[in-house]
C-alpha cells in the first residue's frame, strides 16, 4: 500500500495523517478503497485540513464512490480570516408561496473589488432527496436553512478559490453538485511513500489495548460505565448517525472496561485539567456555526426552535441529569453547587444553556469516581 503517511503543517504545527487513521477514525465506512483514502489524504494536505477536528470527512454509502466533505465552519473561518473579506449580503424570495420557485442568493464583498461576487441557487435544483425520490428529512424540515447554506458555500468558493477550491459541504453533496474525484494536489507536492519513523503515541496506545483485549480475558464494563455509555453517550444528539451505529455495535458486541474509559474520557474530557471533551467541542462548534450564519444573515427568526421544541430539549437534558444523580448518589448540597442553587425539582426553571452546563458538571463528576 503506497503513500501510507502524509505530513503537513496545520496551524503552525506538524500534523501526521495515516491511511489507518482515515480508515478507522475518519471514514464513515470501512469499505473505502485505498485510492479514495489517498485522495482524501492529498486533499487534507493540499488544503491544510485537520480531519481529527472534523474539518474534513470521508463519507461512503454502500458501494457508491466516497465523497470528501468539508465542515461549514471551515468555509466561514477561512473567509472571515482572509484580509480581503469585506462582508456578506444575503437575499431570497421566501415570501413566494410556491416552494419550488424559491431561490437564495449571497453577495460576497472583497476589499480589492468594486463589485460583489454573487451566487444564486434554486430550490428545485438543489433540494435533497432519498433514493426513492422523496425529499430527505433535513430539506423537508428546514428547507430555507439548507438552501441558504448551499448558496453560502458556493458563494464563498467563488470568492476564495485558493483557500476553498475543491471543498464541498455535505448539503451540496446530497444533490450531487460536487464533481467526481480528481487529484487536486500539484505534482510537485504529491506525497512520496514515507515509512513512519514513529507512530503517534495515541495510535500506539489504542492499538495495543485493542490487541490485548482480543487475545486475553479482559474485565467487562462496570454498571456505571454501561449506564453512561447507553444513556449519555449513544443517545447524544452530537453523535452522527454513522457514529451511533458504530459505537452501538461495539457496545453490543462486548465493549471492555478499558475501551469504555477511553470513550468516556474522549467524550467528556477532564475539566479539572482543562481538557475539553469531544462533546463540548462539538457543542461549541455548532454554536459558532449558528453565530456565523446569523451574522451573515442566513438564519431566519422563524427557523429558531419554538418554545415547545425548546422545552422538549430541556426535558431531555433534565432526564439525563436525574439519571446521573441517581447513579452517582450526588448529595443535595453537591448537586445545588452544580445546578445554580436549584434542586432536581427546580431544574425546569433553568435556561437551556444553563442545563447544558449542569449536564457537563454532573458528567464530569460521574467520571471522577
* Beta-sheet pairing, 269-270 with 117-122: unpaired
Query: Does a structural domain hold residue 188?
Result: no
Q: How far apart are CA 269 and CA 318, in angstroms?
A: 21
- Indicate the residue among 70, 85, 111 that finishes a domain: 70
Q: pLDDT 10s digit of each residue in the chain, 369 long? A: 456 889 988 878 888 999 988 888 888 888 889 888 988 898 888 888 888 877 888 888 777 788 888 777 778 888 888 888 999 999 999 998 898 999 999 999 999 888 999 999 999 988 888 777 888 888 888 899 889 988 988 888 888 887 776 676 666 654 433 333 333 334 444 444 433 344 343 333 333 333 333 333 335 667 777 888 887 788 887 888 788 888 888 888 888 877 888 888 888 877 666 788 888 888 887 777 767 666 666 555 444 444 554 566 678 788 788 877 777 678 888 888 888 888 888 888 888 778 878 887 877 764 444
Residue 85 lies in a domain: yes
Q: What range does the domain containing 350 cover?
A: 202-368
> What pLDDT does residue 170 have?
61
- 207 and 296 co-located in one domain: yes
Q: Are 105 and 120 contained in the same domain? A: yes
Considering its fold, how many domains does the chain have in total? 3
- Does 238 share its domain with 353? yes
- Shared domain check, 308 and 249: yes
Structural domain contains residue 86? yes
Residues 247, 346: one domain?
yes
- The domain boundary residue, chosen from 47, 70, 93: 70
Amino acid at each position: 500500500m503506497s503513500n501510507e503517511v502524509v505530513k503537513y503543517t496545520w496551524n503552525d504545527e506538524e500534523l501526521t495523517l495515516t491511511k489507518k487513521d482515515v480508515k478507522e477514525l475518519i471514514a464513515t465506512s470501512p469499505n473505502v478503497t485505498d485510492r479514495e483514502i489517498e485522495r482524501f489524504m492529498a486533499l487534507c494536505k493540499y488544503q491544510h485540513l485537520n480531519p481529527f477536528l472534523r474539518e474534513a470527512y470521508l463519507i461512503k454509502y454502500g458501494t457508491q464512490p466516497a465523497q470528501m466533505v468539508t465542515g461549514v465552519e471551515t468555509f466561514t473561518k477561512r473567509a472571515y480570516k482572509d484580509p480581503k473579506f469585506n462582508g456578506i449580503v444575503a437575499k431570497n424570495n421566501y415570501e413566494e408561496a410556491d416552494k419550488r420557485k424559491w431561490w437564495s442568493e449571497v453577495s460576497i464583498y472583497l476589499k480589492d473589488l468594486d463589485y460583489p461576487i454573487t451566487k444564486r441557487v434554486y430550490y428545485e435544483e438543489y433540494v435533497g432527496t432519498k433514493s426513492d425520490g422523496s425529499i430527505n428529512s433535513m430539506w423537508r424540515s428546514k428547507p430555507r436553512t439548507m438552501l441558504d447554506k448551499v448558496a453560502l458555500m458556493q458563494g464563498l468558493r467563488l470568492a476564495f478559490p485558493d483557500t476553498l477550491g475543491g471543498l464541498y459541504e455535505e448539503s451540496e453533496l446530497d444533490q450531487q453538485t460536487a464533481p467526481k474525484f480528481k487529484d487536486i494536489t500539484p505534482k510537485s507536492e504529491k506525497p512520496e511513500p514515507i515509512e513512519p519513523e514513529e507512530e503517534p503515541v495515541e495510535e500506539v496506545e489504542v492499538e495495543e489495548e485493542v490487541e490485548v483485549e482480543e487475545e486475553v480475558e479482559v474485565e467487562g464494563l462496570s454498571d456505571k460505565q454501561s449506564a453512561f455509555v447507553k444513556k449519555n453517550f449513544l443517545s447524544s444528539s452530537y453523535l452522527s448517525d454513522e457514529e451511533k451505529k458504530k459505537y452501538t455495535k461495539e457496545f453490543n458486541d462486548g465493549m471492555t472496561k478499558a475501551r469504555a474509559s477511553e470513550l468516556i474520557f474522549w467524550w467528556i474530557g477532564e475539566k479539572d485539567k482543562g481538557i475539553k471533551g469531544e462533546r463540548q467541542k462539538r457543542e461549541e462548534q455548532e454554536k459558532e456555526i449558528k453565530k456565523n450564519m446569523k451574522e451573515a444573515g442566513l438564519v431566519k427568526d422563524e427557523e429558531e426552535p419554538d418554545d415547545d421544541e425548546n422545552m422538549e430539549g430541556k426535558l431531555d437534558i433534565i432526564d439525563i441529569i436525574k439519571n446521573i444523580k441517581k447513579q452517582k448518589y450526588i448529595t443535595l448540597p453537591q448537586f445545588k453547587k452544580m445546578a445554580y442553587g436549584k434542586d432536581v425539582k427546580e431544574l425546569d426553571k433553568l435556561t437551556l444553556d444553563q442545563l447544558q452546563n449542569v449536564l457537563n458538571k454532573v458528567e464530569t463528576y460521574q467520571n471522577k469516581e
